Structure 1
Amino acid sequence: MCGITGYLAPGNGRRAEEMRAVAHSMADALQHRGPDSSGVWVCPMQGLALAHRRLSIIDLSANGNQPMQSLHGRYVIVFNGEIYNHRELRSELVSCGKAFRGSSDTEVILAACEEWGVEETITRCIGMFAIALWDTEKKDLYLIRDRMGEKPLYYGWHNGAFLFASELKAMRQHPSFRDDIDRDALALYFRYRYIPAPYCVYQNTYKLKPGTILRISAAGKSNGAARASQVETTYWSLPEIAEQAESVGYDGTSEEVVATLEHLLKQSIEGQMIADVPLGAFLSGGIDSTTVVALMQSLSPRPINTFCIGFNDGRYDEAPYAREIARHLGCCHTELYITPQDALEAVPRMPHVYDEPFADASQIPTFLLSKLTRKHVTVSLSGDGGDELFYGYGIYGLLFRRWRIARKIRIGSRLLRPAILQTVRWMCNADQKQLGVVDALLTADHPIDAYRAMVSVNNAPSDLVLGSREPETIWSRRTSWPRLSCQENAVMALDALAYLPDDILVKVDRAAMACSLEARIPFLDHRIVEFAMRLPFYMKFRDGTTKWPVRQILHKYVPRRLVERPKKGFGVPLSMWFRNELREWMRDVLNRRNIRDSGILNEDAVQRYVDAHIERRQDHGQILWSMLIMQCWLNDHGRRHSGAEGELCGRTGITDVRAP
């Protein structure tokens, strides 16, 4: 696990020393991702610089340092992640006559590119990765992101320079970087709690989508003209995988499903347990993390190190279950209970950790868990991904129960709709979000439309973000949805395509990397993902039981009484804290002067949310957290500009949007 960054600025005329200084500055911003060593490679003739920060996991010697050049000199690489099948690829390459200097997976990628070419190499790799690769012969720069989006990669053109990095903080160190805030992206943030790919909080900066290769051709270019030679290709498409899987189908028995999944999980976990440093696992006590730990322990002759966070509020606390599970499996278990004060002390770090506004409140326990874990190990396996693949979220069942009811009353609902909404508002004290969900259920043609309303924190975010116009995303662009006849599988596939990489994986990667901890996710091995996509819905949800095949595996290792209980999730009691321990802090951050000075949010709307929540008229915990995180982010990044200064604008071209 590492941090990568660099830039391509054709024709900028900088000397090698100047280029190195800039690249080192960019890399140093990523020191937390790679505290063990750093390196820079420059090509002044092309205006190219590649920089790297290393967290040593495999081949701890200097042979694994980056940037690294291929044996014959054609390719230069900076690489963040792990290739779990690098030993198998190495053996195949040795049989082809390739020689190696060390034992790192980075060197395997370079040799494979020389032997098979870039695209075939990537399709052969099993792992998580973000790669920048320079072809010295063709003068092409490749940016490559793994299939599921486990590893981040930002990029963008700024004043004639093409910049890229694992995190935005590195790009901000380049003198050409412009930090103009994109209000339209903030509208997306206030809907989803995160900014979906490819958008970013800054204008002209983007997230590379999972399963994508971006090629920048610099051959014969100068003065930034290389921008015209930018080509993006998809080497692995989850919607296509899901559609093909449904068309082929699966005719195996239930026993075969369980046996195949157990084999694939063991294969994935065994590969991800390879490391030259101490290794452990997050253990929440839930189905997925317990399954991962149980299989890890079955493959290990020594007790697995496990780590857990607990809460004094029993509604959120699963630590006692994790403790008992660890004891049953024979693990070496460590836990930490956190308080509202712990959360408050962690909040100031969140804007720096996440780089752009990000308001999944479980970011705090995830960060504190990572901090605890890093005191003992350098690599930790996680159970993320199982919910999106095997129908694990409780909201799925809620969606389809509501959808079936709504379908029965849709006849005539167009005429009755105003009356229904007014009744819901009066009887349930429904807020704008809840009314949006009811409206979507009454009018939507597909459950995904209603699901989008359900997962949205705010169904009219442009009313909150001044001067914004909410752009389209995969959630609202029907042509991007997986075309599946099974609606349940379609909703899960969309979550795996959008929510998983843009929320869950961002949360885990940034929290872990802020602590110099590598997080690995066995469920996201693409062979498991492809197998899950082949399974019919009744193989995932059976007899009222979610994640049916995963549970069948787990029951072989852990008694049912320890794992069969309602899912709590990995959250924090925000709503309660905002009315008690964190109330004064919230009021201080969201006071009218702060909101007015930032010039981004509707001041009156913010105060309505604050007052309604504190007075217990409605629960606005999530939207308040989104506002708090954004204000903290603005403070952290020194953005105290009004809209009239023209530095806070969206793609709509509005520059003076300050409310009178």
Structure 2
Amino acid sequence: MCGFSGFLDPRNTLSATEARVRLTAMNDTIRYRGPDGEGIAIEENVSGAIWAGLGHRRLSIIDLSAAGAQPMESRCGRYIIAYNGEIYNYGELRAELETRGVEGWRGHSDTEVLLEGIARDGVAATLSRADGMFALALLDRQTRSITLARDAFGEKPLAYCLWDGVLLFGSELRSLRAWPGFAPKESSEARAALMQYGYIPAPLTIHETVVKLPPAHLITITAGMVANRTLPEPEVWWDMAGAAIKAQQDPFEGSMVDAVDAVEASFARSVERRMVSDVPLGSLLSGGIDSTLTTALMQRCSDAPVRTFTIGMGEEGYDEAPYAEAVARHLGTTHETLMLGPDQVLSELPGIAARYDEPFSDSSQLPTYLVSRMARESVTVALSGDGGDELFAGYNRHFYGPRLWSRMQQLPNWLRVTAGRTLGSIPPNVLTSMMRAAGPLAPRELAAGRAGEKLHKLAHLMGARNRDAYHEALLGKAGATGVLKDHSGIARLVSNADPRLAGFDFASAAMLFDTANYLHDDVLTKVDRASMAVSLETRTPFLNHELFELAWRLPQAYKADAVTGKLVLRELLYRHVPREIVDRPKAGFAMPIGRWLRGPLVDWAESHLSADALQRTDVFDVRAVRTVWDAHRTGRRDNETLLWSILMYQSWHSAQRDVALGERVA
């Protein structure tokens, strides 16, 4: 696990000294991704001018010796690689290369195996055989090109752009910002996406000229392309939708017990592979199904107690710590819990937005960072349960969503849209009062609590004209972009309107949509930035090709029924942990933001939402934001998710301004 950055400059204007200074500056911005070492490689043309360079920061996990240092040159001398991640089956790949005559290895790092595989078989063919998480930059001396590639599920980040006649790329946007003169405009489309979804979906970034390389893609860029200021479209090296379709064409024909056996065998292999490490290793244990199952299988193949870590909230409806502690006692792990309260949140808030290199507003970003920081005091690697929800139908929208869509489809489109607009025009507090007055006549889901907010969400969903738009509406916030001055550029998520998926049922299409969008743009982004900020490597056993294909071979009935998801995982977990410990509603990892914004965080929020603060950033409609804030603060409406997006943008923008000011002063 590391970080890298680099450039390709066909202008040939940099000296070797200038190139090293720039690469060092880019490296320094991501030092936390690789505190154990630094490497730089620069390439000269025949006249001695510099045309390309790679910088690397190393977090040593496998092969701690100098033999694993990067940038690394292939033994044929043609290629140089800078790489971030882990290839878990590198031992098997190395053995395969040895049968083909490769010998005399310099060390036992996965980097060397990956590089020699690429030198012999090319990038796409090598990556298709790799079980791992990665982003890489490959310099090809022969073709004077750079190839960028990203792992199948998007665990590791990679962004690139053309700027002033130079190709810039790096693990994080902050590396690009270190390039002299780099000052792109902010993207209004990205800001709209942040308000709507809480994250900025690939390929967008907060900068107009910079893009994220999508997961499972690669792009090869030559010096000539950069000189002509034209870039090719990224190529797919693994087709997620195609893999799901192929798996469904070979359906699993066994019983539920057989399915549990198959999932256990596949998942156990994935866990065992991800436990290979030359440094201490542990588990991030929330007490939910996925992290508990991960920890249980880790403990089964470990001779010593696994180190486990969790965050407690001390707030009703948000605290999973007691469940995690019960799991830890049953499995016999060495467990640590950090209790998180509003005072600690307040002390950490000024820095949390700055840890993300673009605005990001999943409210679980702070507890994820704090549990990572706690774990890093004891271990360098931690396994997590991310990905289980997307592969095995873990979100409410995977089982409740189809039912609601089926009911809505019974209405004529014009009537459904009109009814949605009418319902959405009634203030939420009025709707809540109406449901309370209805008493036992009200639907059970609307009998108490946030009835008005739920009905407004329903109104938003009723406007969806097709299945894709409906699922996108489930992920988004109705009317959220109205708080922006410029809300014309509404961002769209990666569409699942692939003609090959016409035969997919609703739940299957929704799961694939989430895997191709929400998983990497929200969940994996949150975990990567939070953990790497403290130099902790996180590994996700659910995310590998073998388990993905098995999950898609299973009948949907083995994954979810009308009211419950992850059925096959639940049955597997009952083999390892008593049912009473883990059978409970999904709680997630969020904080009680809405409650705290009306209490201990109100002054902090006001400092970012005041008219003066909003006018300084000059992207929000001040009156609209103040209306949203006042409605929330007075309890007339629960606007916590939209407010958190605004607050994280404001806080991020403030941090960027402070950095720029510091650079000018220096």
Q: TM-score, normalised by structure 2?
A: 0.92
Q: Which amino acid aligns with 2:23?
A: A
Distance 2:216 2:547 in 1: 16
> Which of residues 131, 145, 162 in structure 2 aligns to 1:126?
131
1:475 to partner: Cα distance: 4.9
> Which of residues 596, 601, 606 in structure 2 aligns to 1:577?
596
CA contact (8 A) 1:213 1:235 kept: yes
1:545 to partner: Cα distance: 3.3
Q: Which amino acid aligns with 1:125?
A: A
Distance 2:273 2:253 in 1: 28
1:242 to partner: Cα distance: 2.1
- For the pair 1:41 / 2:41, whether they are aligned, the reply is yes
Which of 265-274 and 479-488 deviates more?
Answer: 479-488
Distance 1:310 1:371 in 2: 14
- For the pair 1:289 / 2:308, whether they are aligned, the reply is no
User: Which residue pairs with 2:262 in the alignment?
Assistant: 260
User: Which residue pairs with 2:581 in the alignment?
Assistant: 562
- For the pair 1:80 / 2:87, whether they are aligned, the reply is no
1:44 to partner: Cα distance: 3.0
Q: Which amino acid aligns with 2:145?
A: D
1:398 to partner: Cα distance: 3.5
1:596 to partner: Cα distance: 1.2
Assess, with a 3 A threshold, how the Cα gap between structure 1 residues 441 and 28 changes in structure 2: closer, same or farther.
Answer: closer
Match runs of 1:208-607 below 5 Å: 208-218=213-223, 221=224, 224-225=226-227, 227-228=229-230, 230-410=232-412, 412-413=415-416, 419-422=422-425, 426-428=430-432, 437-461=457-481, 463-475=482-494, 478-479=497-498, 482-542=501-561, 544-607=563-626
1:196 to partner: Cα distance: 0.3
Distance 1:6 1:484 in 2: 44
- For the pair 1:181 / 2:186, whether they are aligned, the reply is yes
Q: CA offsets, 1:281-314, max 9 Å, x none?
A: 0000000000000000111111100001001113
Distance 2:393 2:29 in 1: 39
Match runs of 1:47-86 below 5 Å: 47-86=51-90
Distance 1:145 1:383 in 2: 21
The DSSP-based 3-state class of the residue aligned with 2:234 is strand
User: Which residue pairs with 2:160 in the alignment?
Assistant: 155
1:169 to partner: Cα distance: 0.9
Which of 536-545 and 88-97 deviates more?
Answer: 536-545
User: Which residue pairs with 2:102 in the alignment?
Assistant: 98
- For the pair 1:627 / 2:629, whether they are aligned, the reply is no
The DSSP-based 3-state class of the residue aligned with 1:365 is helix
Which of 254-263 and 103-112 deviates more?
Answer: 254-263
Q: Give the gaps of 5 or more residues in structure 2.
A: 434-449, 661-666
Identity of aligned residues (%): 39
1:484 to partner: Cα distance: 4.2
Distance 1:638 1:480 in 2: 45
The DSSP-based 3-state class of the residue aligned with 1:132 is strand
Distance 1:530 1:329 in 2: 29
Assess, with a 3 A threshold, how the Cα gap between structure 1 residues 320 and 477 changes in structure 2: closer, same or farther.
Answer: closer
User: Which residue pairs with 2:436 in the alignment?
Assistant: none
Assess, with a 3 A threshold, how the Cα gap between structure 1 residues 561 and 417 changes in structure 2: closer, same or farther.
Answer: closer
Q: CA offsets, 1:446-496, max 9 Å, x none?
A: 3442232232134351x2222242244335674599544211010011001
1:346 to partner: Cα distance: 1.6
Distance 1:443 1:634 in 2: 33
CA contact (8 A) 1:215 1:231 kept: no
Distance 1:196 1:543 in 2: 30
Q: Which amino acid aligns with 1:25?
A: A
The DSSP-based 3-state class of the residue aligned with 2:657 is coil
User: Which residue pairs with 1:646 in the alignment?
Assistant: none
Assess, with a 3 A threshold, how the Cα gap between structure 1 residues 271 and 436 changes in structure 2: closer, same or farther.
Answer: same
CA contact (8 A) 1:453 1:459 kept: no
1:227 to partner: Cα distance: 3.8
Assess, with a 3 A threshold, how the Cα gap between structure 1 residues 226 and 581 changes in structure 2: closer, same or farther.
Answer: same
Distance 2:463 2:231 in 1: 44
Assess, with a 3 A threshold, how the Cα gap between structure 1 residues 372 and 584 changes in structure 2: closer, same or farther.
Answer: same
Assess, with a 3 A threshold, how the Cα gap between structure 1 residues 318 and 72 changes in structure 2: closer, same or farther.
Answer: same
* Aligned residue pair count: 637
1:71 to partner: Cα distance: 1.1
Distance 1:444 1:235 in 2: 33
1:399 to partner: Cα distance: 2.3
Assess, with a 3 A threshold, how the Cα gap between structure 1 residues 295 and 477 changes in structure 2: closer, same or farther.
Answer: closer
Distance 1:434 1:470 in 2: 26
1:639 to partner: Cα distance: 8.1
Distance 1:547 1:407 in 2: 26
Assess, with a 3 A threshold, how the Cα gap between structure 1 residues 301 and 639 changes in structure 2: closer, same or farther.
Answer: closer
User: Which residue pairs with 1:31 in the alignment?
Assistant: 31
Which of 107-116 and 438-447 deviates more?
Answer: 438-447
Q: CA offsets, 1:141-161, max 9 Å, x none?
A: 100000000000011111111
- For the pair 1:190 / 2:195, whether they are aligned, the reply is yes
1:353 to partner: Cα distance: 1.0
Distance 1:432 1:561 in 2: 33
Alignment RMSD, CA only?
Answer: 2.2
Which of 135-144 and 449-458 deviates more?
Answer: 449-458
Q: Which amino acid aligns with 1:107?
A: E
Q: CA offsets, 1:113-134, max 9 Å, x none?
A: 1222222111111100001001
Q: Which amino acid aligns with 1:126?
A: D
1:278 to partner: Cα distance: 0.1
1:549 to partner: Cα distance: 1.0
CA contact (8 A) 1:466 1:602 kept: yes
Assess, with a 3 A threshold, how the Cα gap between structure 1 residues 226 and 334 changes in structure 2: closer, same or farther.
Answer: farther
Distance 1:443 1:30 in 2: 43
Which of 296-305 and 441-450 deviates more?
Answer: 441-450
Q: Which amino acid aligns with 2:510?
A: V
Which of 414-423 and 627-636 deviates more?
Answer: 414-423
User: Which residue pairs with 2:9 in the alignment?
Assistant: 9
CA contact (8 A) 1:433 1:459 kept: no
- For the pair 1:136 / 2:136, whether they are aligned, the reply is no
The DSSP-based 3-state class of the residue aligned with 1:308 is strand
Q: CA offsets, 1:532-553, max 9 Å, x none?
A: 1222211101474321111111
The DSSP-based 3-state class of the residue aligned with 1:501 is helix
Assess, with a 3 A threshold, how the Cα gap between structure 1 residues 484 and 517 changes in structure 2: closer, same or farther.
Answer: farther
